[in-house]
Structures are given as structure tokens and as C-alpha cells.
């Protein structure tokens, strides 16, 4: 796992001093990504392109795995942030074609595969990746991101005195090392964040002019074109033939976990004691002799609205005892929560998404200090296998009522600050300027339509929506919280082969809304698939994911709310005053507003 960055321009402009200037810019960009790759770095300068890399050495830590990596003939150069889980399969195919490999690194496999196949070959890659591939002979630069968006990739087009340039990076903050790109807020996405707590809206980010390459998409820039025009497309994903069973699901999950265990450095598992992480840890334990597991959370905190806040430690210890792991804990206090929250916004340059990003970062700090570099996590199971009880039940009821405007239903169902309250929250001129959240509403409608394409019913479409929207945000959370500490987070459920099987399991075998609580009615196929392998209490446990009592703890920073000029200029003074006075009562507004306040102070004071 690594950090990548680069810049390109048309090759028809005379070189002059551009190479030296661009190299210095890219060196500064990758320096900003040093936490993602503490084990070294490098820069490649080609005609019209400079590529930079920071390395977290996980597979083949020898110098042979260094990047940027170039083919022996000098034509193709790659910078790659990811992990290829079908490395042996693809490598064998390239070896049969005559390729002689110089390392055991999956980066070299991806380089030779894509140099032979181009963008059409991306669908054969099973793994997580964000990459840039330069073809010096054809004069092109290919950017690509894995189908789940596990690894981030941002880009921007800027105008310079010598013509347009395109720059890209694993993190937005690194891109502002380019003198032609300055941080300016995108108010449409800022408003969307208040409702969704997601830092992107489709391709838009919180910064004007900075785009996120969507999951499963690629762009190819023509460096011989004075306008640096790009073509793009989607990465193909596999399908499962026929109807999948619980046994098919178990086989797919176990195969995915096994493939995710490849590492030349110490590896562990996150274990909350919930179903998803327990499945991953139990399968991993059968293949790792001395598996360390880690849990994070708060101790001694009473429930909030009936939701337990401190049960993870007990359940995780029980699972650890059953599977025989070496179990550790990272505890988050009210003070740690406030400190880490502020620090995470400062270091990432973005507001947080979910509050438990703090817990994930805290456990990443702990496991890295304990000598682990790679950790497996349970993200993805809920979005693939219908794991969210209340949202799925609400979706089923909505479908039964006719499924009117399903995109708007999804937006309202998951809103922190509902769109219909924005007119009274935001200042009138701001509300008019962002056209009453029109882009947010249309974006959610478009996401639902995409999710519904080819779905076997409206309820499946709602589940696919969770994968397209919810999971992308959760994977971004995992990436940022772990990579800040130089830890590679892997997600065996967020795997294209597991997803293909999950999509072929009949909906009634995933979710049964007729089942009365406390019996579980979600992820039924997964519970059946691993029945007997885990304690019954875990198989029947409701959804849990390193919960923190942020509703009470948000008050630690809410007193500062409105101190940034940006937030004060966007939000009605009376609304700010109400949230500042009673943050625990208005926690659904306090969380995104305080995050935006911290973020805006980070960039604009």
C-alpha cells in the first residue's frame, strides 16, 4: 500500500525548464504522502509526465519492488497503490507470454499485464488499486481505480502559462503543492456533506475543481493533444452464473480471506465481535499460526437510545477465545476522541465521515506500534448481504408502497441534516447559490437508477445502492484512518468475486422482514454459511462497528462552532447558536457542522 502522485502536460510544448519544475512539484506532492509510504519513494520523469511514489513495503520489501517501475524496454512506467489478490494467476499468464519477472512484487505483475492489455485488462485484476500508467511510445497516461473504490484517487485539470496540465494524487492535500491549484470550497459538496457526511458527491469533492475518480472507472489522457483530452470507461466485473447458495457464499468468503492473507510483513485482524469481523478473523486464524486480533472502543459507556456502546470488547474477547487468537485492545476515552478528531481533520485535510473513524485510527496506531503493518477488516458485508436492519426494513416498506422516487427516499432515509431543513439552516443567499441542493438530489436519483440497472427487483436495487454509495464512504474512512499510521487495511468482503456471489443469492435468503426481533433478519445467508463456526451469540448479534458515544462527546469541540469564517458565512446565526448551546441534543447537526468548522479552519483560518 502506498501513495501516488503525478503531473502531465502536452508533449508538444518545448521542454524548457518544465521537467525540473514539475519534478520538484511532484517531489513535494509525494512528501505530503510520506505517511502512506514510510519505506521509501521515487520519481520518474518522462516526456510530458512526472510520476511520484511513496512506498509501504508489504510484498517483496526488497529494492526490486521500488516504484515508479518501468518495463525493460522503457516504454511503460507505473505508479501503483494497491494489492493484487490474483497475482499468481496473472503472473503465470504473463510468464507464459515470455515475460521474465525481476521481483515477487504484485506491482510488476500489474505493470506487465496492463502494458499488454491496456485499460481493457483492468477487469482481470482482482484486488484494490489506484494506479497511473504512462505509455511513452503512444504518449498517454492512464488513471484507474478498483471497482469498489477501496483506494482513493483524485485529479484536477489546471491552466498554466504554458498550457493545460493534469495532476493527480492519493490525497487531495498533496495536489495543492501545484502552484496553479489553490484550495477553494465547493459549496454544493459542502452542503451535501451536511446531509450525507460524505466528502464526495459523485466526482465532486469539497474543493472546487478537484475531482474524485469514481470507483471502477478509468481515464486515459492523450499527451499529444494540446487540450489533454481524455477518454474513459468502466472496469468490467465478474458475474456468478445462476443462483448462489449459502455454501457458495461461504466458499467465496473463505477464498477471499485466504487471498487477502498474503503478506511479507506482520498481519492482524480487526475484531469487533460482530458477525462480519468474526467471520474474517475465524477464517484467517485457520491459516495464520499466531494471529493477533484487535478491538477498539469505549469502556463503561451507557447505551444511547437503546444502542449498546461498550459491548464490543466482551464479544471480541469471546470470539478470540473460541478461535484462539492473540487478542489486544485499543481504548478510546472522551479526551482521546476530541484530540484525535481534531488531529485527523488537520492531517487528512478533510472532515471526518463517521465518528468511529477515530476508533479505527486509534487501533491502527496501536497495532502499528505492536509491529503489524497489515490488517483485515469486515467492511463490505452489510452493503453486499443486506446487513442494515432499519434501512433495509424501511426500503422494503417503501417498495411495498410503490417505491416512489427511490433516490430521494434513500437520501432522506440516511440524512444527518435532512434536505427539507436546509432552507432554514443555511443563509438564503447560500441556499439560492447551491440551487436548493439540486445536485445532491439528482445525484442520488442517478445513483439509484444505476443501482437498479439489471437488478432482480426494487429491493435488490436498494441494496445495490448501499454498495454504490454507503460502502464507498466506509472504505474511504478505513483507508484514511489506517494509512495515516502507515497501516494497510484489507477488506475481504469488498471483493469482486464475493460481490458476484452475493448478488446471485436470492433476496429472501438475505433478508426476511417477517422475522420478529430479537431474532436476526438481516445477512441470513452469511449467518447460515458460518453457523457452527462461531458462537451463537455472535451469529445472532445486531450490527456493531466500533461504536463510540459521540452524541455525548461531540460537546468537547462544539463550543468552538462558528469560529471559522466559512461556516459562519454559510449557516444562520440562530441555528449555529442552538447547536452550540445543546450539541448533544442536536448531535445530528453538531457532528457535520463541527467537522466543517475544523476543516475550514484547517485551510482558511
User: Is 164 inside any structural domain?
Assistant: yes
Kindly state whether residues 567 and 543 are assigned to the same domain. Answer: no
- Assess if residue 131 is contained within a domain: yes
Q: Take residue 369 and report the three cell numbers written for it.
A: 506500534
Stretch 374-401: mean pLDDT, rounded? 96
Mean pLDDT of 519-530: 95
Boundary-marking domain end, from 214, 234, 254: 234
247 pLDDT exceeds 90?
A: yes
Q: What is the enclosing helix (H) or strand (E) of 548?
A: none
Confidence at 289, pLDDT banded by 50, 70, 90 = confident
Please tell me the total count of domains within the chain: 3
pLDDT(19) > 90: no
Specify whether the CB–CB gap between 523 and 381 falls below 8 A: yes
Q: Within this chain, do residues 63 and 133 fall inside the same structural domain, yes or no? A: yes
Together in a domain, 140 and 224: yes
Query: DSSP secondary structure string, 79-93?
Result: EEEEEETTHHHHHHH
At 178 the three-state DSSP class reads coil
DSSP code of 531? Answer: B
Indicate whether 597 and 484 sit together in one domain.
Answer: no
Query: Domain check: are 375 and 472 in the same one?
Result: yes
pLDDT in tens, 298-325: 988 887 777 776 788 999 999 999 999 9
Residues 225 and 87 in one domain: yes
512 within some domain: yes
CATH value at residue 307: 3.40.50.620
- Taking alpha carbons only, the member of 112, 107, 135, 160 closest to residue 48 is 135
- Mean pLDDT on 592-599: 96
Residues 31 and 132 placed together within one structural domain of the fold: yes
Tell which residue, 510, 425, 422, 417, has the closest CA to residue 463: 510
Boundary (domain end) residue, out of 505, 529, 550: 550
Compute the distance between CA of residue 353 and CA of residue 459 in angstroms, rounded to an integer: 26
Domain end: 199, 214, 234, which one? 234
Domain presence at residue 285: yes
Residue 175: which CATH number? Answer: 3.60.20.10
Does the pLDDT value for residue 208 go beyond 70? yes
Residue 213: partners with Cβ closer than 8 Å, 6 or more residues away: 130, 143, 144, 145, 153, 154, 155, 203, 219
Look at 317-321, 430-434, 458-462, 516-520 and tell me which has the smallest mean pLDDT.
Answer: 516-520
Asked whether residue 367 carries a pLDDT value surpassing 80, the answer given is: yes
Q: Is residue 426 part of a domain?
A: no
Write down the pTM of the prediction.
0.96
Per-residue model confidence as pLDDT tens digits over 536-565: 999 988 776 667 899 999 998 998 888 788
Query: How many C-beta neighbours within 10 Å does residue 516 have?
Result: 7
Give pLDDT, residue 544. Answer: 66
- Name the grid cell of 419: 434536505
Whether 418 maps to a domain, the answer reads no
Kindly state whether residues 224 and 354 are assigned to the same domain. no
Whether residue 486 sits in one domain with residue 600: no
Together in a domain, 306 and 225: no
Q: What is the pLDDT of residues 64-81, one digit of tens each?
A: 999 999 999 999 999 999
**Residue 30, domain member (yes or no):** yes
Mean pLDDT of the chain: 95
- Within this chain, do residues 219 and 368 fall inside the same structural domain, yes or no? no
Q: Where are the alpha helices (DSSP H) in 453-545?
A: 458-465, 472-483, 496-504, 524-529, 536-539
What proportion of the chain, given as a percentage, has pLDDT over 90?
Answer: 90
Per-residue model confidence (pLDDT) at position 379: 95
Question: Do the domain assignments include residue 392?
Answer: no
Give the separation between CA 84 and CA 497, rounded to whole angstroms.
Answer: 13
Residues 252 and 315 in one domain: yes
Residue 574 belongs to domain spanning: 562-605
Range 474-482 average pLDDT: 96
**pLDDT tens digits, residue range 106-157?**
999 999 999 999 999 999 999 999 999 999 999 999 999 999 999 999 999 9
The per-residue pLDDT for 542 is 77
Amino acid at each position: 500500500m502506498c501513495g501516488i502522485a503525478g503531473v502531465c502536460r502536452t508533449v508538444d510544448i518545448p521542454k524548457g525548464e518544465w521537467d525540473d519544475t514539475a519534478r520538484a512539484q511532484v517531489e513535494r506532492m509525494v512528501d505530503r504522502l510520506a505517511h502512506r509510504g514510510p519505506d521509501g519513494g521515487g520519481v520518474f520523469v518522462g516526456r510530458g509526465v512526472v510520476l511520484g511514489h511513496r512506498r509501504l513495503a508489504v510484498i517483496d520489501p526488497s529494492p526490486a519492488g521500488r516504484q515508479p517501475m518501468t518495463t525493460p524496454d522503457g516504454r511503460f512506467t507505473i505508479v501503483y497503490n494497491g494489492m493484487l489478490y490474483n497475482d499468481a494467476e496473472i503472473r503465470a499468464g504473463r510468464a507464459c507470454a515470455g515475460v521474465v519477472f525481476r521481483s515477487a512484487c504484485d506491482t510488476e505483475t500489474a505493470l506487465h499485464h496492463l502494458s499488454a492489455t491496456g485499460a481493457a485488462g483492468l477487469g482481470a485484476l482482482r484486488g484494490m488499486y489506484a494506479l497511473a500508467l504512462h505509455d511513452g511510445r503512444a504518449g498517454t497516461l492512464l488513471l484507474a481505480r478498483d471497482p469498489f473504490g477501496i483506494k482513493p484517487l483524485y485529479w484536477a485539470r489546471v491552466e498554466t502559462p504554458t498550457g493545460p496540465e493534469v495532476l493527480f494524487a492519493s490525497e487531495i492535500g498533496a495536489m495543492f503543492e501545484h502552484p496553479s491549484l489553490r484550495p477553494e470550497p465547493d459549496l454544493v459538496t459542502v452542503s451535501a456533506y451536511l446531509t450525507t457526511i460524505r466528502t464526495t458527491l459523485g466526482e465532486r469533492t469539497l474543493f472546487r475543481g478537484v475531482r474524485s475518480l469514481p470507483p471502477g472507472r478509468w481515464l486515459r489522457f492523450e499527451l499529444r493533444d494540446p487540450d489533454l483530452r481524455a477518454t474513459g470507461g468502466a472496469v468490467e466485473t465478474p458475474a456468478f452464473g445462476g443462483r448462489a447458495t449459502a455454501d457458495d457464499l461461504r466458499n467465496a468468503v473463505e477464498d477471499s480471506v485466504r487471498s487477502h492473507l498474503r503478506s511479507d510483513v506482520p498481519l492482524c485482524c480487526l475484531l469487533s465481535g460482530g458477525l462480519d469481523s468474526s467471520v474474517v478473523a475465524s477464517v484467517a486464524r485457520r491459516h495464520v499460526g499466531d494471529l493477533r486480533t484487535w478491538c477498539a472502543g469505549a469502556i463503561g459507556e451507557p447505551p444511547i437510545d437503546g444502542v449498546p456502546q461498550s459491548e464490543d470488547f466482551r464479544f471480541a474477547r469471546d470470539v478470540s477465545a473460541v478461535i484462539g487468537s492473540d487478542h489486544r485492545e485499543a481504548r478510546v476515552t472522551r479526551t482521546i476522541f476530541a484530540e484525535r478528531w481534531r488531529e485527523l481533520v488537520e492531517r487528512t485535510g478533510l472532515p471526518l465521515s463517521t465518528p468511529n473513524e477515530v476508533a479505527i485510527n486509534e487501533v491502527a496506531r496501536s497495532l502499528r506500534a505492536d509491529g503489524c503493518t497489515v490488517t483485515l477488516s469486515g467492511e463490505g458485508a452489510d452493503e453486499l448481504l443486506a446487513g442494515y436492519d432499519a434501512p433495509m426494513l424501511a426500503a422494503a416498506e417503501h417498495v411495498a408502497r410503490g417505491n416512489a422516487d427511490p433516490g430521494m427516499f434513500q437520501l432522506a432515509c440516511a440524512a444527518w441534516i435532512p434536505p427539507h431543513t436546509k432552507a432554514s439552516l443555511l443563509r438564503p443567499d447560500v441556499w439560492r447559490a447551491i440551487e436548493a441542493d439540486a445536485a445532491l438530489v439528482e445525484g442520488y436519483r442517478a445513483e439509484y437508477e444505476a443501482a437498479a440497472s439489471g437488478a432482480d427487483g426494487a429491493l435488490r436495487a436498494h441494496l445495490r445502492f448501499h454498495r454504490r454509495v454507503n460502502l464507498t464512504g466506509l472504505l474511504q474512512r478505513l483507508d484514511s484512518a489506517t494509512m495515516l499510521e502507515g497501516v494497510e487495511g484489507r477488506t475481504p468482503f469488498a471483493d469482486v468475486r464475493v460481490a458476484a456471489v452475493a448478488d446471485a443469492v436470492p433476496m429472501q435468503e438475505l433478508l426476511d422482514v417477517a422475522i420478529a426481533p430479537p431474532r436476526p433478519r438481516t445477512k441470513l445467508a452469511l449467518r447460515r454459511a458460518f453457523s457452527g463456526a462461531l458462537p451463537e451469540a455472535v451469529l445472532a448479534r445486531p450490527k456493531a462497528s466500533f461504536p463510540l458515544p459521540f452524541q455525548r462527546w461531540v460537546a468537547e469541540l462544539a463550543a468552538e462552532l462558528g469560529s471559522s469564517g466559512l461556516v459562519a458565512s454559510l449557516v444562520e446565526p440562530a441555528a449555529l447558536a442552538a447547536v452550540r448551546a445543546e450539541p448533544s441534543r442536536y448531535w445530528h447537526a453538531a457532528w457535520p457542522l463541527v467537522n466543517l468548522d475544523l476543516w475550514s479552519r484547517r485551510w482558511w483560518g
